[in-house]
Copies of this chain bind each other. A is one copy, B any other.
Amino acid sequence: MLNVAILGASGYTGAELLRLLLNHPKVAIRALTAERQAGRPYAQVFPQFAMLDLPDLVKIDSLDWSNIDFVFCALPHGTTQPIIAGLPDHVRVVDLSADFRLATPEAYEAAYGLPHEQPELLKAAVYGLSEIEREAIAKARVVANPGCFPTGAQLPLIPLLEQGLIDADNLIIDSKSGTTGAGRSPKEGLLFAEVSEGIHAYGIGTHRHGPEMDQELSKAAGRDVRVRFTPHLVPMSRGILSTLYVTMNAGVTLTALRQTLEARYQNEPFVHVLAEGQAPQTRHVRGSNHVLISLHADRNANQAILVSAEDNLVKGASGQAIQNMNIMMGYEETLGLSLTAQFP
C-alpha cells in the first residue's frame, strides 16, 4: 500500500481526493492536515465521512514523514512553496495549487504578484496534464496539477495546434464554472443568494489561468499563443463547460479536426470525443474523471466550435491528481477513478 498524506484536507479538493482515494486499492490514507482545524475529527469538517475510520486533522509540522510515501498538496497558492521544499526526498508530490504550473519564476510573479521562492524546485516540477505529459509525469518527483480551466481547454486544443490545423492567433475560450472552483472560504459573492438564479463573468481578461493556457498552448503550437479567455460563474456546485471558437487553417475541414482528436484520444480512458450531433453536458461527467469533447460546424465555412465538459473537482483537480499519482507510481491509470458520473 502507498502511504498517502493530504495536505490541506479541509477544502473541497481535499474532500474530493479522499472520496476518490477511498476506492483506490493501493492507497492507505495516513494523514490529513489542516492548520486551523487541527485536532478536529475529519467528519466535523465533512460529515459525509462520519461512518468511516479516518485520521483526525493535524498540522503539517506534526507529521512523521517516515510513514508517508506520497503527498497531495491542496494548499492555497503562495503557501505551498516552502511546504513542498521542506518535504523529505523520498516523498513524491502532486501539488494542486498554482505554485508550480508556470514554468519560470518570472511568469509566476507576473501572474500571481509574488516572487517565486523555490526556482530550482519550479524548474524540476512537471506540468501534469496527464494525457499530454504522461512520460514526464512518470519520472517526476513533483507534479504541478493543471488548473481546472486549462485542463478542459487544453485537451481539445493541443492536438489541433500540434498538427497546425487551427489558427493560433484566434483562440477564444469561453468557460462556465461551478462555484467549488472558488473554494470553501466564506465570501459574499459565493453565498447561495448571490449565486443562484443568475450568471456573470469575472476576471475578464485578467484571470490567472490565461497565462497557464498560453504557456501550454504555445508549446503545442510551437509559437506564442495568447488566448482570449473569459470565465463565468454558474449556479452549480461542480463542472466546467468550455466553448472554444477556432478558425481553421486554409484547407482544413471539421472532419480533419474530428479525426485528429479521435485518433489522439481513442485509447484514453478519460477523454472522449462525442459522435457528430452530440454536445456534452457537465452533469454527465459530475463526480467522474471524464472529459467529453464535441466538435461543431460553424455557419462560417472556415470556423468551428468545440465544447468540452469536465468536473472541476475531478479531472480539473483531485481526479487528475490521482491519475497523475497512478502514472508516477506505475499503477494502472484508472485505479480509483472508475466511477461513472452521478446523474441525476
Question: A residues bordering B, Cβ < 8 Å?
Answer: 12, 15, 18-19, 22-23, 46-52, 170, 172, 174, 176, 178-180, 184-188, 190-202, 204-206, 210, 226, 228, 230, 232, 234-239, 241, 243, 245, 269, 272, 274, 278-288, 290, 292, 294, 296-300, 303, 305, 307, 309, 313, 338-344
Contact = CB atoms under 8 A, between A and B. Distances in A.
Contacts of A307: 200-201, 204
Given A12-B193, A190-B192, A48 B341 contact: yes
Given A274-B50, A338-B23, A186 B187 contact: yes
A22 B341 CA distance: 12
A46 B176 contact: no
B243 A192 contact: no
9 contacts: A48-B283, A48-B284, A48-B343, A186-B186, A190-B192, A190-B193, A192-B194, A199-B236, A201-B243
Interface centre among A51, A199, A290 (most CB of B within 10 A): A199
A323 to B, nearest CB: 15
A199 B184 contact: no
Nearest to A181: B193
B187 A282 contact: no
A179 B193 contact: yes
Q: Which 7 A-B pairs have the closest CB atoms?
A: A198-B283, A186-B186, A200-B281, A193-B344, A48-B341, A192-B195, A48-B284
Nearest to A344: B193
B239 A197 contact: yes
A160 B179 CA distance: 34
Contacts of A305: 204-205, 228, 230
B191 A184 contact: yes
A261 B39 CA distance: 29
A23 B339 contact: yes
